[in-house]
Structure 1
Amino acid sequence: MDSIAMEMKKQSKASPITRRSRDPNSISRPASMVLNLSFILYCVISLVPVLLVLSVSFSDENAIALHGYRLIPESFSLAAYQYLWQDAAHIAKGYSISIFVTLVGSLLGLTVTAMFAYPLSRMDFNFRGFFSFFIFFTMIFSGGLVPWYLVYTKLFPIKDTLFALIIPNHLMNAFFVIMVRTFFQTTIHPSLIESASMDGASEMKIFRSIVLPLSLPVLATVGLFYTIGYWNDWFNSLVFINNDNLVNLQYMMYKVMRNLQYLTANAQVSGSVNISSEIAKLPNETVRMAMCITGMGPIVLAFPMFQKYFIKGLTVGAIKG
């Protein structure tokens, strides 16, 4: 028996069974290649429309009419940007208004949303149900356009001020409040808040030093939504602003496009042949695309700025098991 045991031991040493430990979060090489190719294809599909708009903005108007849209311009031209350059001062003013409104509005909206959502996430808040219903009710029912307009022009006289571009529609979104409240409830452990309270921290201290640093992912997401909403808004300028020095970039571009369409559509109505021919030469399609490129510039840089907060928020932790 001893000889048999010795022989088996020698065989086990001669041919050891190797087992490779595998990370449970890792994926196989073929699956990784498929995922990478899928994301590359998705990026290409997303970039093609932007490249098409950029190409058309640098194309000649006659070439667009003859050959249609092309990824490579059939005939290169800067006529659309030269047409916009004639209003460079107004466009720069619109840029400054849009940047100011976007920055201030996004910060205020994010602050109000987080401060409203935090008490709703606390189970010990007595009026939690009432305020939750109050914010949820606004998602279902609306007062209508006319009462909304009268509130901000008669009750709160903010017409022809920058407040009219910040407060209506965007300052606090009910859906964002519910989203942030849900994140607070599911991510911020109650024992963390309880331990901070026992150490003598005030509610504002807990909110500022504990809750907000642990909520960077949802705050970055909501902040990005607020930024896009403020930047793309033109309706508030249409309704509340009569002063041309206070309109934002999007509404200014809308006015340029509307005036250009009006001149092009009524070119044949003019009695002078020379005037009609000059109006017909105005770039129409290319100016639209040039306005898109001009208006999308700063907002393209918004996501890379928020991306680091996504990554930082995902790596922050408080409760260690």
Structure 2
Amino acid sequence: MSTTLDVSRRAAAQAQPNIALIKYWGKRDLRLNLPVVGSLSITLDTLWTRTEVRFDDALSADTMTLNGKVDAKQLKRTSACLDLLRARAGVTTRAEVISENNFPTGAGLASSASGFAAMVMAGDAALGLRLTPAEQSVLARRCSGSAARSIFGGYVEWAHGQQADGEDSVATPLLEAAAWPLSVAVAITSTAEKAIGSTEGMNRTADTSPYQQAWIDSQDADLAEARAAIAARDFERLADISEHSCLKMHALALAAKPGLLYWNAATVAAMHCVRGLRAKGLPVFFTIDAGPQLKAVCLPSAAAAVAAALREVPGVLNVVETGLGGPARLIPVADLAAA
């Protein structure tokens, strides 16, 4: 089998970040990036990553450019992801990766999820692999756990799986975005990259948090409750279980040694704001990933009021309004240049 490509091959893809309503936190296998629990998410619409992958025999090494700057920090993970695609294709050709985010990177907004989902889809197309969405999801998971979910749109569940090889740890779509439209107001409270990344935080939590086993034991029931809420289009039920899962995840991390505190003062103020709005009858709830940004999920009829209230919270720098988005998709390479 050839170890190089005969010609330069390139493709570009766009993927949206997702936010977990039933949280993923913890790995059962670090090498394969297998989660210790299943998770359930919604894919966002107006936030995106666009990535071009160009394989070229003339390159002696992989390169990575993110938001117009060479990103040496991400190059190791990028090459590891490309290696998975190269192994599928039976080639060793190096690649140039150019990626753009239209939202803060590494700040708790799932930029790695959308980034690696876009990279896998673009790399698949550039190499002509013709992978199925499930196969793309498995490869994306190997690169960044939550990227498994960003291959799909709408409501998505990622199974923790049972097999040692991880082939059954794959994301599957539950419901298309248009089938139950929701709105999300993302309260940006910091644009800085978080001090402790998710992988490091998960490992510390697994090693030191006394709540780790309780987290694992309760996850299946939480997933079943969220699935039922989505199937019934029951917003209040989904709100209750989503906030519960969010606060459990952060309690788990807070109890690590030393404790992981991903929130800032504005995050907490925004939580109180959302709780206050809900007490007044607005259909809204919050969720927060491993970072300081709060996502307020609401029915579309409440979107304007929720966004306006969050903009008044001290310390909130910006509020990004979005609906639910579709799956990752190929785009013309020219779209990346225009980003």
Give TM-score scaled by structure 1 length.
0.24
| Greater per-residue strand proportion | 2
Give TM-score scaled by structure 2 length.
0.23
Larger radius of gyration: 1
